[in-house]
Amino acid sequence: MDKEIYRHRDYVQSELNRIKHITNNDARLASYRELANYHALQTWNFQHERQIHLYVTIIFGVIMLVAWAALFGWLMAVSSAYNIVTWLLIALVAILTVLEGCYLGYYYRMENRTQILYPLDRKIYDAIQAMLK
């Protein structure tokens, strides 16, 4: 996803530079509006994916906390900590904790990467406003 966001950012910036050199004002304004629509759609797609990954991260976080609670409850209830159920619970908790850490890292990167798209909105808007004056 990082590559897609950077690819989109670079594309929009190159299109802004290209459109700036169009001499026909009507064609330039139409190009800016088309770019604004495309950028809005792509930004919405990135935000939607970010939202889905937020839900997945929260769900896995809850599952991980339930697994930790089950492990602690099991350890409190069992006098011998060296049986197969204990080791299976420890393995489950370890896997879920690592998985949740990966989800958190990915979501954090996605959250920060989508933030780089918002200044492009302002650039496109300012270009359109300059054309309308």
78 pLDDT more than 90: no
pTM of the model: 0.78
Domain limits of the chain? 2-132
Average pLDDT, the chain: 90
83 pLDDT more than 90: no
Stated as kind and residue range, the H or E segment containing 95 is: helix 84-115
120: how many CB neighbours lie within 10 A of its CB? Answer: 21
Distance CA 32, CA 13 (A): 12
Provide the pLDDT confidence category of residue 80 given band limits of 50, 70 and 90: low
